[in-house]
């Protein structure tokens, strides 16, 4: 395996090739016959264990009859696939960036996420995600697409066989910020508690007034893989960056240790989430028409 075979950009290229073939209706064997190459070679490209050069990618896309816009997007991934760090910016960068995130989630043995505002995407309810997307001004069709994509991503931590280990470090602020409605937030908090009952999921809350810590610099996700180096991912409003360099990964591991030292334990965290949800439920009952009769 080449040294860049496990990078997010390489994983995104592998996923793009696999999805382009599936969209064409061709199987691996049929495509191999069309190209007169081994089906094993195509499988290696599609699972990310080997990286095809740009000429091979162009050959595959031509055989599949991939449309020009999608062809250019995939070729752009191939041209830069050996660059270890990956910054995507602007609307055009979002699809490739999301592909990299999805492939990292699928391949990771452990995911650690720090989020200073809100709830981690893998733990969001449908309505919470829908409210967040609506706030961003997306169309109804785009909102529902994002909700469905987010729900399918969560499968990596909820599947019955070998679910990925997930540590969510959440600032207490995110437990109080209302998106959509108070009812949506209550359901989200109850969902957090339910998800944390799974043996592979740990939710820990960093309380307010603990002083400065590295998490103040912004959200990040650390992906650990069983057979390739770890990667740090930063997501911002319309851009994102994957950073696999050992120095940066080590720095963020130290940041996780510092944040974890300030966080409440798992049981205390769930107790706090339950307390916040119960308080919100009481306030909602007080505002109901029946309560005012």
Report residue 238's pLDDT band, with 50, 70 and 90 as the boundaries.
low
d(CA 11, CA 5): 7
Give pTM, 2 decimals. Answer: 0.74
The residue among 39, 56, 84 that closes a domain is 84
Contact at 8 Å (CB) between 17 and 60?
yes
pLDDT tens-digit series, residues 97-133: 677 788 788 889 999 999 999 999 999 999 998 888 8
Q: Is the pLDDT of residue 181 over 90?
A: yes
Domain shared by 149 and 254, yes or no: yes
**For residue 197, with 0-12 CB atoms within 10 Å meaning exposed, 13-18 middle and 19 or more buried, which class applies?**
exposed
- Of the three residues 84, 104, 139, the one that is the final residue of a domain is 84
- My answer on whether 127 and 251 are in the same domain is yes
Is-contact 225 109, C-beta < 8 A? yes
**For residues 75 and 134, is the Cβ–Cβ distance under 8 A?**
no
User: What is the pLDDT at residue 1?
Assistant: 43
DSSP β-ladder status, 165-171 and 201-206 = parallel
Nearest CA to 75 among 59, 105, 104, 54? 54
Question: Which pair of structure tokens corresponds to residue 90?
Answer: 């602007």
Residue 6 lies in domain: 1-84
Whether residue 194 is found in the same domain as residue 161: yes
Residues 24 and 126 in one domain: no
How far, in Å, CA of 9 to CA of 99, rounded? 9
Provide the sign of the torsion angle of the four alpha carbons 272, 277, 280, 285, taken in this order: negative
pLDDT category at 289 given cuts 50, 70, 90 is: low
Least confident range of 22-26, 157-161, 196-200, 240-244: 240-244
> Are 52 and 175 contained in the same domain?
no
pLDDT for 93 equals 42
Number of compact structural domains in the chain: 2
Mean pLDDT over all residues of the chain? 86
User: How confident is the model over 212-221, as a mean pLDDT?
Assistant: 93
* CATH number of the domain bearing residue 66: 1.10.260.40
Last residue of a domain, one of 84, 104, 127: 84
Whether residues 224 and 287 fall in one domain: yes
More confident residue, 168 or 285: 168
CATH of the domain at 136: 3.30.870.10
Q: Are 244 and 147 contained in the same domain?
A: yes
Same domain, 74 and 150: no
Is 90 exceeded by the pLDDT of residue 207? yes
């Amino acid at each position: 395996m080449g040294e860049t075979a496990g990078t997010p950009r390489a994983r995104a290229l592998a996923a793009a090739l696999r999805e382009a073939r599936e969209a064409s209706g061709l199987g691996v064997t049929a495509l191999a016959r069309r190209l007169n190459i081994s089906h094993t070679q195509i499988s290696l490209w599609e699972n990310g264990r080997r990286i095809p050069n740009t000429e091979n990618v162009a050959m595959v896309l031509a055989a599949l009859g991939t449309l020009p816009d999608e062809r250019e997007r995939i070729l752009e991934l191939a041209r830069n696939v050996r660059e270890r760090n990956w910054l995507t910016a602007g609307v055009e960068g979002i699809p490739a960036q999301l592909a990299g995130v999805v492939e990292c989630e699928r391949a990771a043995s452990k995911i650690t996420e720090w989020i200073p505002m809100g709830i981690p995407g893998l733990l969001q309810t449908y309505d919470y995600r829908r409210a967040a997307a609506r706030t961003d001004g997306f169309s109804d069709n785009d909102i529902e697409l994002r909700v469905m994509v987010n729900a399918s991503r969560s499968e990596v931590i909820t599947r019955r066989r070998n679910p990925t280990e997930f540590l969510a470090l959440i600032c207490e602020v995110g437990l109080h910020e209302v998106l959509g409605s108070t009812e949506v937030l209550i359901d989200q908090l109850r969902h957090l508690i339910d998800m944390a009952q799974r043996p592979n999921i740990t939710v820990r809350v960093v309380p307010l007034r603990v002083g400065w810590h590295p998490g103040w610099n912004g959200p990040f996700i650390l992906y650990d893989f069983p057979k390739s180096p770890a990667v740090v991912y930063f997501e911002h409003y319309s851009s994102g960056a994957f950073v696999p360099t050992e120095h940066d990964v080590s720095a963020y591991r130290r940041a996780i240790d510092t944040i974890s030292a300030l966080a409440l334990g798992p049981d205390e965290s769930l107790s706090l989430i339950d307390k916040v949800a119960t308080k919100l439920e009481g306030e909602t009952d007080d505002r109901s028409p029946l309560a005012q009769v």
